[in-house]
Structure 1
Amino acid sequence: MNDPTALSKADIEVLAGRYIDGCATADEVARLEQALAVDAAARRAFLELCNLDSALEHRATSFSGPISPLSVVGRGGRRLPGALAGVASLAVVAAVAWWLSAGGRRPHTTHYDDRSLPVVTVATIHGGDDVDDGRPISPTTLRAGASVAIRSGSGADVDLLDDAVYGVSSSDEGALFGGSVLARLAGSAAQYAVTASNLRITDVGTSFRVERIDEEHLAVTVLDGTAEVQSRVRRPRCFWSFDDLDPVMAPTISLDAVRSLPVDLGAGVAAVEGIVGAGALRFDNTSEAVAIIDGGLGEKVGEGTLSMREGISLEALFVSGWSGGAGDYDELYRKEDGNCRVLLSFQNDGVSHAAFSEPRVPPGPCLSFGLHLAGIGYRELDMPLDGEDGRPTVAALTDGQVHHVVASYDSFSGRKSIAIDGVKRFEHVVPLGRLVLCGGPQRATIGNHLGIEPFSGVIDEVAIYDFALTTEEIAEHFRRASRGERYFEVESPGPFVPWRAIDRLVGGQTRVFNQRTAEAR
């Protein structure tokens, strides 16, 4: 028989919210008190809504006796009087027990740095409606409803034409999402490039126009001088195979194979036989289980080797021993430049950070891919590990077997997705043209964050790309890894070149290119 006093979590949220805000009726207060007195689940829900993190943080480390009702506070520091304070005290005790049973890893404020760090200035903006002439701008996407121009940090004047949608991504480059732009370079020393997915048009000291004809094609017109059309070399910006580690020598440093960024290994990380190749890293789930990427930094957000703009992909092989329990975080990769962070991690933090989740998903264990997008802010794609709609379960990803993960975002389509074992499992689409804001002064880590989110298991073949891998590439990388091969063919020794010249146009020439294949039409 159903208990007539029982309330659903939704009821608790409504009543607790009204009480804490001071607008609950006497009858509503009585119903809430009665439900909390008899229902442990209701007390837990009430605890979350009362935001008792600080009280829990203190009592989880020093609790040695009964908690006084007078010490229990609600939102904004308001004390909860009478019976509600008593049942809230019971909720605190219950939550402390939950915290201890979860291994002492209750989410708290140090999981997220909410500071807004300085962002690099890339251009000044001129003209248009209600625009301050000469105003400096950080990486952003402009939509030209009127005549708008920018002066890039490199000295190029760029006019936005035909209702252009244009991402001002760096001091010497922009991304065309719609319409057309005209770039005029002030002198022979000035440089500027316009990108569109897999295509890049670059010029030195002349002028050119790029026009988007449809979703796939661009027309490039050189007005003066010479412009070079380039195709993206689809290789990672950074790649750690960990094959330079010798388990016998107990190494502490591994080098990125592309740009030689070193990774410093903590005491909780050991070199082991590779999933692919000779080496991999085993993380022992302790505070010292961390691999710190020592380099690739910038003074401001938007600077440094680990700064991405038009897209990003994070790729790795792993064997996970994650518990999946409440409050347990296992990081694969994280770079925490204030709220301009990038992360890929296993999480189960209830509703503690639900505001970050987009789209919203039910509380529970998930694989989270977090990014800060200009004009949107920081959001996480939280893939529920529930076995529904092709998504894996916690058990499926912690079965002792090797798994392949790719988290990617593409500003040219707006797609943010997570793929497991070569197949896309979860995605969300944001408005076209949102640039990534990341990079900056904080060091990135593999396998941990601040010593409180340690990975349990093995990680290998970590790759970071400044573009979104395609569905076909992800499937091929998984097939190659399953055969014990690298994701891609190893390049010959020498400096990595991210773009390859495919054509050259001179003044008066116009040519149409496919932005994805880079083929001329």
Structure 2
Amino acid sequence: MESEDQQFDRETLYELAADVLDGVATPHQRAQLEAWLDKDPQARQAYLKYMLLHAELSLTSEQMLVESEVPKEMLSQPSAARDRSISRKRPFSYQAVSALLALSASIVLAVLVYGVTSQLALDQVLPLATQSYYDHREQTRAVIATSKDPNLGLPGQLSEQIRPLMTSTIWQTDGESEVAFKGGADVRLHGPTVFGLESPDMGVLLAGAISARQSNPSSQFTVQTSHIRVVDKGAEFHVHIDDQGATEVQSSAGEVEIQTQVRLPRYYWNFESPTPLRDLVHGEEIQLGSSAKHVSGLIGDGALAFDNSYHSYGQVLGGTGPQVGTGRFAVTHGISIEVVCTSKWSGEWQDYDEIFRKEDGDCRILLSFQLDDFDYSVPEIPTGPCLSFGLNLADKGYDELDMPLDGKNGRPTVEEMTDGRPHHIVATYDFFTGRKSIYIDGRLRFEHVYPKGMLILSGGPAPARIGNLHRSGDVQGIEPYHGVIDEVAYYDFALTPEEIAAHYERVSQGKDYFGIPASEFQKERWVPMAIVAEGESRLFQPIRAQGVQKDS
């Protein structure tokens, strides 16, 4: 038998897979197959095709089999080996058959094969066929408000019964409606108004006007606009956005505090200290898989290296919540994911290299290199290698901004992204503009503009991973990154083009994005800037965010 470290032989791989399915493989044969699958993407692709054929045979009578269903690689086998593979009919469980009838067998088994590792018994492969790279299970969403107002500007059938409301946007075209937030605020919308329900104690005003009254004096209610936050202090207040984007705030009872945003991330890992790997904001720790390594930094002293194997990942040990809309990774009105990385991605069919992923069902957040023909792309693009940014937008669903790596219209190629040099990648989405964008090395390379006012559905119980995908029930990952990742920053707002350009300028000089002491990251993200007293009305003009930029 060949050494486990040798390059795989396709015919031998098929024979080993056949022996495993028949239950006659020796421990040494299993070890050789597992080693090939763990280390060699081409071996995984060949195994995928073999298992696809086997699954199709499990769902098809021998009389219906035609030679066109056999992978071309298998047609080159000696006839005895091919006949042995084609004639094998190991039945799936009832659950697996049902799932495969409901899904495309090719997609399901493409998912299946990449989940096999040295830590996963090969005789457990077929039951895993019901699983997918994409976890489509329905996730529980937090109820943040209620209404029994028949005039409420939400899609669907309305009634006089109390209606639970989750993260969504109300489009109040005319008239007025009322919403009761679980935090205790009663809010009246004055149409035409676009108002997002963000959390039990917070709403986001895109256009129009709202009035709010806090029924619970011990609680606070916040209204955020594109440039300020309005925080009540047991008050009754009115917020209006004029045609120029300025925010008028009027207090009719008590006082209202106006806050401005500190443009710093919610999470930031610079990986300078190897033990423990904590972010500089909340101290959230990252646990490394056995194949991920702490190495010299692309910026500074530290970074994470991933070797394209299943146990190569960095898992965040916190930031989750019991439902969609909860946990520190939950974002609604904006997001930015920012990294510096080098890549050795193959650019081959169904090879996925995850930069960042949090898999809360279809409320996932994804940033990865990929090549497939799934239909999540918005806008639609031709099949080809891409950098993908996936989000779920309320009332729309999950889709991906897939930037073709084709060298056209200012976009980079696979060769450019894998040239061994560090590249600065930023993916953003903004509720206030509808823009979903990907920036490479300080420049906008690809974007799609949605209607303004679509909130993100995110957060929940799934852990976030850097450099791999975590799927429920898995110990290992199944979409490993190949390369080095550094300077991971996660924001709950969209960085501006000016901020991104400034960050890239610092990166190109070998500096981190911010140039501030570590202690600065632990301060409040919103700070007071003004008070609106009872009976007073004030107008606040929008200010273009420039971000925090200091020399360290």
Q: Closer, same or farther in 2 for the Cα pair 1:159/1:381, shift >3 Å?
A: same
Write the mapping of 1:321-400 to structure 2, written as runs, cut at 5 A.
Answer: 321-349=344-372, 351=373, 353-354=374-375, 356-400=376-420
Give 5+ residue unaligned stretches, structure 1: 1-55, 246-250
Q: Closer, same or farther in 2 for the Cα pair 1:92/1:430, shift >3 Å?
A: farther
Conservation of the 8 A alpha-carbon contact between 2:176 and 2:191: no
Write the mapping of 1:258-273 to structure 2, written as runs, cut at 5 A.
Answer: 258-273=281-296
Write the mapping of 1:177-326 to structure 2, written as runs, cut at 5 A.
Answer: 177-245=206-274, 251=275, 253-326=276-349
Distance in structure 1 (CA, Å) of the matches to 2:438 and 2:48 = 37
- Match of residue 515, structure 1, among 534, 542, 546: 542
Per the alignment, in what secondary structure is the counterpart of residue 190 of structure 1?
A: coil
- Match of residue 88, structure 1, among 69, 88, 95: 69
**Structure 1 residue 86, shift from structure 2 partner:** 3.3
Distance in structure 1 (CA, Å) of the matches to 2:63 and 2:244 = 61
TM-score of the superposed pair, with normalisation by structure 2: 0.76
Q: Closer, same or farther in 2 for the Cα pair 1:131/1:503, shift >3 Å?
A: farther
Partner of 2:164 in structure 1?
136
Conservation of the 8 A alpha-carbon contact between 2:496 and 2:545: no
Q: Does 1:60 align with 2:60?
A: no
Partner of 1:470 in structure 2?
496
Distance in structure 2 (CA, Å) of the matches to 1:317 and 1:455 = 14
**Structure 1 residue 312, shift from structure 2 partner:** 0.3
Q: Closer, same or farther in 2 for the Cα pair 1:393/1:518, shift >3 Å?
A: closer
Q: Closer, same or farther in 2 for the Cα pair 1:436/1:483, shift >3 Å?
A: same
Distance in structure 1 (CA, Å) of the matches to 2:76 and 2:270 = 42
Partner of 2:30 in structure 1?
none
**Structure 1 residue 267, shift from structure 2 partner:** 1.1
For this pair of structures, how many residues does the alignment match? 446
Partner of 1:9 in structure 2?
none
Distance in structure 2 (CA, Å) of the matches to 1:431 and 1:220 = 26
CA distances 1:454-483 after superposition (whole Å, capped 9, x unpaired): 111110000000000000000000001111
Write the mapping of 1:23-62 to structure 2, written as runs, cut at 5 A.
Answer: 60-61=50-51
Distance in structure 2 (CA, Å) of the matches to 1:62 and 1:328 = 16
Q: Does 1:167 align with 2:196?
A: yes
**Structure 1 residue 87, shift from structure 2 partner:** 2.1
Partner of 1:125 in structure 2?
147
Q: Closer, same or farther in 2 for the Cα pair 1:392/1:105, shift >3 Å?
A: farther
**Residue range with higher mean Cα deviation, 489-498 or 361-370:** 489-498
- Match of residue 57, structure 2, among 71, 79, 82: 71
Look up the equivalent residue of 2:390 and give its one-letter code.
Answer: G
**Structure 1 residue 93, shift from structure 2 partner:** 4.7
Per the alignment, in what secondary structure is the counterpart of residue 498 of structure 2?
A: helix
Distance in structure 2 (CA, Å) of the matches to 1:401 and 1:496 = 34
Distance in structure 2 (CA, Å) of the matches to 1:180 and 1:128 = 19
- Match of residue 112, structure 1, among 134, 138, 155: 134
**Structure 1 residue 216, shift from structure 2 partner:** 2.3
CA distances 1:39-86 after superposition (whole Å, capped 9, x unpaired): xxxxxxxxxxxxxxxxx98863597xxx89x9386xxx8x7976x833
Per the alignment, in what secondary structure is the counterpart of residue 539 of structure 2?
A: strand
Residue identity over aligned pairs, in percent, reads 41
Q: Closer, same or farther in 2 for the Cα pair 1:425/1:132, shift >3 Å?
A: farther
**Structure 1 residue 420, shift from structure 2 partner:** 0.2
Per the alignment, in what secondary structure is the counterpart of residue 293 of structure 2?
A: strand
CA distances 1:138-158 after superposition (whole Å, capped 9, x unpaired): 110001134211111110000
Q: Closer, same or farther in 2 for the Cα pair 1:94/1:117, shift >3 Å?
A: farther
Per the alignment, in what secondary structure is the counterpart of residue 487 of structure 1?
A: coil
Q: Closer, same or farther in 2 for the Cα pair 1:132/1:496, shift >3 Å?
A: farther
**Structure 1 residue 91, shift from structure 2 partner:** 6.5
Per the alignment, in what secondary structure is the counterpart of residue 213 of structure 2?
A: strand
Distance in structure 2 (CA, Å) of the matches to 1:195 and 1:513 = 13
Distance in structure 1 (CA, Å) of the matches to 2:139 and 2:246 = 37
Look up the equivalent residue of 1:277 and give its one-letter code.
Answer: G
CA distances 1:12-57 after superposition (whole Å, capped 9, x unpaired): xxxxxxxxxxxxxxxxxxxxxxxxxxxxxxxxxxxxxxxxxxxx98
Per the alignment, in what secondary structure is the counterpart of residue 168 of structure 1?
A: strand
Give 5+ residue unaligned stretches, structure 2: 1-45, 83-105, 117-128, 152-157, 471-476, 547-552
Look up the equivalent residue of 1:474 and give its one-letter code.
Answer: I
**Structure 1 residue 131, shift from structure 2 partner:** 4.2
Distance in structure 1 (CA, Å) of the matches to 2:248 and 2:289 = 51
Q: Closer, same or farther in 2 for the Cα pair 1:491/1:512, shift >3 Å?
A: farther
**Structure 1 residue 274, shift from structure 2 partner:** 1.0
Conservation of the 8 A alpha-carbon contact between 1:196 and 1:515: no
**Residue range with higher mean Cα deviation, 222-231 or 209-218:** 209-218
Distance in structure 2 (CA, Å) of the matches to 1:433 and 1:141 = 7
Distance in structure 2 (CA, Å) of the matches to 1:466 and 1:166 = 18
**Structure 1 residue 110, shift from structure 2 partner:** 2.2
